[in-house]
Structure 1
Amino acid sequence: MKKKYVLVGTGGRAEFFYGAMVRDFQETCSLVAFCDSNQTRLNYANKLLEEKYNVEKINTYTADRFDEMVETEKPDIVIVTSVDRTHHRYIIRAMELGCDVITEKPMTVDAEKTQAIIDTIERTGQQVRVTFNYRYAPHNTKIRELIRDGVIGEVNSVHFEWALDTQHGADYFRRWHRDKRNSGGLLVHKSTHHFDLVNFWLNTEPETVYATGGLRFYGKENAERRGETKFYQRAHGSEHAKNDPFAIDLEANEHLKSMYLEAEKEDGYQRDQSVFGDGINIEDTLGVVVTYKNKAILTYSLNAYLPWEGFQIAFNGSKGRIEVQVREQSYINSGGEKGDEGKLKEKVLRVIPMFGEPYEVEVEEKEGGHGGGDPELLNDLFGVPKEDEFNRAASHIDGAISILTGIAGNKSLQTGQAVKVDELVNLKR
């Protein structure tokens, strides 16, 4: 029997979900309505349904009519892909109205909103699932398998370096993410993926978190310090932006033009703000130390302005070491093709036994984003899930634990002190 879905938030991430539903999961899914604060964006989502996917338009509701949508359409599941700071509002209300929820990461942005979601799950008995597609990437699953099987013994420390390049990294500083109230900063919005992977790989949870960092590259003050003087607030209509490699031209990209530029008249949101303008209060340079409940430690860094995209990681164990380097296709949201997201350009997974010769582990990549991980995630969400020995489907507990590392990191940035994760939220397990 088909389940009925509605989707809230029709911006850049939404099509990943609704496109898959109408293209690949018509036998198990019925998408019945869109909801967004912007009617122009709602109309564009419907246009994509018709012209790109050859399916009929669906009903649209503005955000102030969310309750009406749920009561009228009677969905089984609400998909939440709105601005991060609003996730909790729709997650909680959907459950109160009797729906289960699928939410894009991060589940929410701070401890108070996390607690409110946890309390509502307990009160209503509804389910919340968080979408972590990185778990499903074959190389990440293989890392979990190697550690689970004891190939390097007990893992005592992890060194994890994530690099965002000047296309993908810069994009967080053009958009709504640049305001920490919207996104929780990169430690929550982006690093939730990475902290979830460490929890998944080591099968443990964070205990204490210490973080340091700041805005070191982007922002007007940093540009002035480097002697750069050609400032503008947004790219559209600016002469200075024409020669700026960090600018995006919404007019030149039909998708971005339709989704954002033509929607500005309703809410004033500018998708193409200057990464060297005022109003940025998130960090672009971050270092985090985490101690886990199994006594392993993590040293983690994130930089959002590097010449390549991907990660380097080392696991140090009682029987050896695993080294991983993955280079990825730069993110698409500044105008590339959707299918390129997470496409691997280079991948090395090496095991170095304590006594023995190092060897590389081959990992078979499949079709689809993140090395074939995206189709598996989507099937778990919308199709008939396969038996999974690695339990990659993420619950609300997984979603909470991953963001609590970043939330604790944000608190540590403010106080200069290490933060105990268990003191932030009662997960009621």
Structure 2
Amino acid sequence: MPDAKRRYAVVGLGARAQTFVDALAGPYADRAELVGFCDVNQTRMTVHNRWIAEDHGHAAVPQYGAGDFGRMLAEQRVDVVVVTSMDRTHDDYIVAALEAGCDVVTEKPMTTDPARCRRILDAAEKTGGEVRVAFNYRYNPVHEKVREVLASGAIGDIGSVHFEWLLDVRHGADYFRRWHRDKANAGGLMVHKATHHFDLVNWWIDAEPVTVYADGKLFFYGDSNGKRRGLARDYERAAGSAAAADDPFAIKLAESDKLRELYLEAEHEDGYYRDQNVFGAGITIEDDMAVLVRYSSGASLSYHLTAYSPWEGYRIGFNGSAGRLELLVRENTFAAQTEGHQHSTAVQHGDAAPGETEALLTLHPHWEPPQTLLHGELAQGHGGGDARLLESLFGDPAEDPLGRSADHHDGARSLLIGLAANQSFTTGQPVDVTTLLADA
């Protein structure tokens, strides 16, 4: 255990912050001191302070507005900044923290465009500060097993990877209700969501992305799609709308204490609506995306992300010179509804009910029968990845033979695939990944 507690501040106090705030105020409070909250919204900071007092008996954490971030770092003598703010603001906080002599833990994606990525890489190199990207899926035991099997050479050299990720109409729809629906805020699902998936492939096959070709569209959500399919209801946001009352795609903030306190009761400060109509106007992101990536090793990745599936999970196949490795993961069996409204108001992504999840990992060697390497239910919290990530970030240092800890270079590699895909959506042409940062 360290001789002195490290001093932590959290910037961005929405729902995403709760995992980190709870960890710092609770199980890791013996080695970490939570000394600062920073957000554009005073109400959300106050809510988090009340929660940690109720749940952990923690003293109130000093609160600072977004314009006082630098003052917070100095006054509270911060050692580490945890960045969980809106994606497009990550670079400002990461760079300012590094220049103030702090280390950084940032939520994924690390940032949202090449210029912002270049800023972070330059600041990390200049200051020597540590930037860790919170890729919790690396810490999922199922994904660790995949890494071990591939590294063992069980399927030989890897020629190709086929990867399909399905977001259901409970979870997938949520990106079209909130600030992520505007590509300027989060880079679209290729950046905000798929950065997880691209990072996994980069880590699994231990190779660098070289070229990307992609096609994406808004097929299901959005006003024109909703009207054409008879799914649209006439409302801007769900709260107070009779038209949203029986809409299965509407989220009812008032029915979840967490969402009500963090968003519905905080919107008077900044006008942010967390419950916008998924078939409304103003959506600039895609919901159906196909990507082809060529790697430095010669391997290729074919990836597809669908955000309107009836069930949630993913399928992966690795084709090698000595066989094939297949993984099927069901994160839920179907997008449930209860009493006419979305189950997602009560059940958060990564916390499916017992019996809903399944992971099946199968090795198919050439000329031999298939071998089931793993078959069972997933643990809570992204398959157990959340708890193990937090231990890595805030617990006692431990050996990391699988290289699970991700830094700013890993954050950039996954980000650049998504950015190249977005560019390819627009131009219809393959993109040389290596040029994105050079031109930034």
Judge same fold: TM > 0.5, yes or no.
yes
Structure 1 letter corresponding to 2:404: R
Question: What is residue 406 of structure 1 aligned with on the other side?
Answer: 418
Is the contact made by 1:339 and 1:368 (CA closer than 8 Å) also made in structure 2? Answer: no
1:6-26 Cα distance to aligned partner (Å, 9 max, x none): 000000110111101221112
Q: In 2, distance between residues paired with 1:112 and 1:172?
A: 24
Q: In 1, distance between residues paired with 2:131 and 2:415?
A: 15
Is the contact made by 2:357 and 2:378 (CA closer than 8 Å) also made in structure 1? Answer: no
Is the contact made by 1:12 and 1:333 (CA closer than 8 Å) also made in structure 2? Answer: no
Question: What is residue 308 of structure 1 aligned with on the other side?
Answer: 311
Evaluate the alpha carbon distance shift between residue 310 and residue 366 of structure 1 in structure 2; reply closer, same or farther with a 3 A threshold. Answer: closer
Question: What is residue 351 of structure 2 aligned with on the other side?
Answer: 341
Is the contact made by 1:78 and 1:94 (CA closer than 8 Å) also made in structure 2? Answer: yes
Is the contact made by 1:324 and 1:350 (CA closer than 8 Å) also made in structure 2? Answer: yes
1:224-277 Cα distance to aligned partner (Å, 9 max, x none): 222445321110111111111000111121111110011111000000000000
- Give the counterpart of 1:10 among 7, 13, 29: 13
Structure 2 letter corresponding to 1:62: G
Q: How far apart are 1:319 and its partner, in Å?
A: 0.6
Aligned residue pairs, count: 427
Structure 1 residue 29 and structure 2 residue 39: aligned? no
Is the contact made by 1:342 and 1:371 (CA closer than 8 Å) also made in structure 2? Answer: no
Evaluate the alpha carbon distance shift between residue 224 and residue 365 of structure 1 in structure 2; reply closer, same or farther with a 3 A threshold. Answer: closer
1:107-144 Cα distance to aligned partner (Å, 9 max, x none): 00010100011111122221111010101101111011
Q: In 1, distance between residues paired with 2:231 and 2:296?
A: 46
Question: What is residue 399 of structure 2 aligned with on the other side?
Answer: 387
Is the contact made by 1:35 and 1:63 (CA closer than 8 Å) also made in structure 2? Answer: yes
Q: Which is worse superposed, 205-214 or 332-341?
A: 332-341
Structure 1 residue 132 and structure 2 residue 142: aligned? no
Evaluate the alpha carbon distance shift between residue 244 and residue 278 of structure 1 in structure 2; reply closer, same or farther with a 3 A threshold. Answer: same
Structure 1 residue 236 and structure 2 residue 216: aligned? no
Is the contact made by 2:109 and 2:411 (CA closer than 8 Å) also made in structure 1? Answer: yes
Q: How far apart are 1:334 and its partner, in Å?
A: 4.0
Q: In 2, distance between residues paired with 1:2 and 1:365?
A: 37
Secondary structure of 1:325's aligned partner: strand
Question: What is residue 265 of structure 1 aligned with on the other side?
Answer: 268
Structure 1 letter corresponding to 2:156: G
Is the contact made by 1:368 and 1:375 (CA closer than 8 Å) also made in structure 2? Answer: no
Structure 2 letter corresponding to 1:336: A
Question: What is residue 357 of structure 1 aligned with on the other side?
Answer: 369
Secondary structure of 2:191's aligned partner: helix
Is the contact made by 1:50 and 1:57 (CA closer than 8 Å) also made in structure 2? Answer: yes
Is the contact made by 2:137 and 2:196 (CA closer than 8 Å) also made in structure 1? Answer: yes
Question: What is residue 418 of structure 1 aligned with on the other side?
Answer: 430
Q: In 1, distance between residues paired with 2:233 and 2:111?
A: 36
1:16-415 aligned within 5 A: 16-228=19-231, 230-329=233-332, 334-337=344-347, 340-341=350-351, 345-362=357-374, 368-415=380-427
Q: How far apart are 1:341 and its partner, in Å?
A: 3.2
1:273-314 Cα distance to aligned partner (Å, 9 max, x none): 000000100000000000000010010000001011110011
Q: How far apart are 1:92 and its partner, in Å?
A: 0.6
Is the contact made by 1:136 and 1:373 (CA closer than 8 Å) also made in structure 2? Answer: yes
Secondary structure of 1:210's aligned partner: strand
Is the contact made by 1:234 and 1:270 (CA closer than 8 Å) also made in structure 2? Answer: yes
Evaluate the alpha carbon distance shift between residue 196 and residue 208 of structure 1 in structure 2; reply closer, same or farther with a 3 A threshold. Answer: same
Is the contact made by 2:137 and 2:200 (CA closer than 8 Å) also made in structure 1? Answer: yes
Q: How far apart are 1:337 and its partner, in Å?
A: 4.3
Structure 2 letter corresponding to 1:373: G
Q: How far apart are 1:336 and its partner, in Å?
A: 2.7
Secondary structure of 1:182's aligned partner: helix
Q: Which is worse superposed, 137-146 or 21-30?
A: 21-30
Q: How far apart are 1:385 and its partner, in Å?
A: 2.4
Is the contact made by 1:103 and 1:130 (CA closer than 8 Å) also made in structure 2? Answer: yes
Evaluate the alpha carbon distance shift between residue 92 and residue 316 of structure 1 in structure 2; reply closer, same or farther with a 3 A threshold. Answer: same
Q: In 2, distance between residues paired with 1:9 and 1:226?
A: 37
Is the contact made by 2:170 and 2:344 (CA closer than 8 Å) also made in structure 1? Answer: yes
Q: In 1, distance between residues paired with 2:195 and 2:255?
A: 32
Q: In 2, distance between residues paired with 1:38 and 1:333?
A: 27
Query: Identity rate of aligned residues, in percent?
Result: 50
Q: In 1, distance between residues paired with 2:349 and 2:119?
A: 35
Evaluate the alpha carbon distance shift between residue 230 and residue 366 of structure 1 in structure 2; reply closer, same or farther with a 3 A threshold. Answer: closer
Structure 2 letter corresponding to 1:348: L
Q: In 1, distance between residues paired with 2:176 and 2:56?
A: 32
RMSD: 1.9
What runs of 5+ residues in structure 1 fail to find an aligned partner?
Answer: none
Secondary structure of 1:66's aligned partner: helix
Q: How far apart are 1:415 and its partner, in Å?
A: 0.8
1:194-241 Cα distance to aligned partner (Å, 9 max, x none): 000000100111000011011000000111222445321110111111
Structure 1 letter corresponding to 2:345: G
Q: In 2, distance between residues paired with 1:274 and 1:166?
A: 13
Secondary structure of 2:92's aligned partner: helix
Q: In 1, distance between residues paired with 2:343 and 2:75?
A: 33
Runs (4+) off by over 6 Å: 330-333, 363-366
Secondary structure of 1:279's aligned partner: coil
Secondary structure of 2:15's aligned partner: coil
Q: How far apart are 1:52 and its partner, in Å?
A: 2.1
